[in-house]
Amino acid sequence: MSDILFETANGRLAITLNRPDARNSLTEKMMADIGSAIRAANSDPEVRVITLTGVGKSFCAGGDLKTLMKGKNPLQIRQLIHTGIRSMVQAIRTSDKPVITAVNGSIAGAGLTLALAADLVIAAPSAKFVTAFGRIGAIPDAAILYLLAENLGMLRAKQMVLRVQSLDADETLNLGLYNEVVEADQLDNRLTELATEIGTGPTMAHALAKQALHAATRLSFDAYMDLEASSQALLHTGFDHDEGVASFVEKRAPRFRGY
């Protein structure tokens, strides 16, 4: 049985972590496969939304400590972070197709990245959020510190990391790290609803909006406005813009094609 299940149907690439006996902890190959699948989806016109979830009681316990770091010297660990981990995080964060993560259980370590780097996150009530690197004398890797600071602000991010905090689903929701908390037996249905809603939307507009949001945190105002103007001009040449305007005038639901 594969450690990750990939299924493409109805415009959606569904990625499911499938190591329930190991709490869906990530091996180096799993990280590489996730990154490769998302990059391939970016160039696949049949894919318009990507979802991530896990099998079993845990969403993802982070990296598989038994295999990832064992026997590696500092240079090899640095290389692992620069290649396998970084490649996976970048793939999620920069994906042209929206990424929705459904956290079906406890989440820790590099598993946090699969949520923090996504575009939308929904969770079951059992989705405890754990930053436990301090317990093993390490710092959070897989861009967790970067993503926590970006999503929470510096003070709250430091508090979570230095105090090795564990948050329940409602606390995580209140901090803005989850978009929704839904009952466990409704999680898959809600994920499908969101994937359908977003996957039938204007895919190119979604991609450019996502790029602009990320750029807004690092560009000057003038540089951002240049990016916005270029993006809007490009979208005005596409089918979806014409369809969106036509559907508004005709008072009907739009039928976007994704370009």
Could you tell me the pLDDT band of residue 21, with boundaries at 50, 70 and 90? very high
End-to-end CA distance of the chain: 37
The answer to whether the beta carbons of residues 206 and 98 sit under 8 Å apart is yes
CA distances from 243 to 45, 96, 98, 256 (A): 18, 21, 21, 7
The mean pLDDT of 35-44, rounded to a whole number, is 97
Distances (CA, A) of 75 to 18, 67, 83, 153, 201: 30, 16, 12, 31, 44
pLDDT tens, residue by residue, 139-180? 888 899 999 999 999 999 999 899 888 899 999 999 999 999
User: Which of 132, 167, 162, 161 minimizes the C-alpha distance to 147?
Assistant: 161
Tokens of 134: 């301090």
For residues 31 and 28, give the distance between their C-alpha atoms in angstroms, rounded to a whole number.
Answer: 5
Between 51 and 68, the more confident residue is 51
pLDDT of residue 69: 63
Contacts of 141 by beta carbon, 8 Å cutoff, 6+ apart: 81, 85, 110, 133
Residue 136, pLDDT above cutoff 90 = no
CA–CA gap between residue 61 and residue 77 (Å, rounded) = 19
Which position has the token pair 């596409």? 238
88-134 confidence digits (pLDDT tens): 999 999 999 999 999 999 999 889 999 999 999 999 999 999 887 88
State the burial class of residue 124 (Cβ atoms within 10 Å of its Cβ: 0-12, 13-18, 19+).
Answer: buried
Asked whether residue 65 carries a pLDDT value surpassing 80, the answer given is: no
Tell me the percentage of the chain whose pLDDT exceeds 70.
97
pLDDT at 49 over 80: yes
What is the pLDDT averaged over residues 220-233? 98
Instruction: Please report the pLDDT score of residue 84 as a whole number.
Output: 74
Q: What is the dihedral of CA 200, 124, 29, 73, to 10 degrees?
A: 130
| Residue closest to 94 by CA, chosen among 33, 53, 55, 50 | 50
Kindly indicate the confidence band of residue 70, based on its pLDDT and cuts at 50, 70 and 90: low
**How many residues in the chain?**
259
- Average confidence score pLDDT of the chain: 93
Q: What is residue 96's predicted lDDT score, i.e. its pLDDT?
A: 96
What the block records as the tokens of 210 is 């996502």
Q: Which residue has the higher pLDDT, 81 or 36?
A: 36
What local confidence, expressed as pLDDT, does residue 79 receive? 75
Decide: 54 and 105 in contact? Cβ < 8 Å.
yes
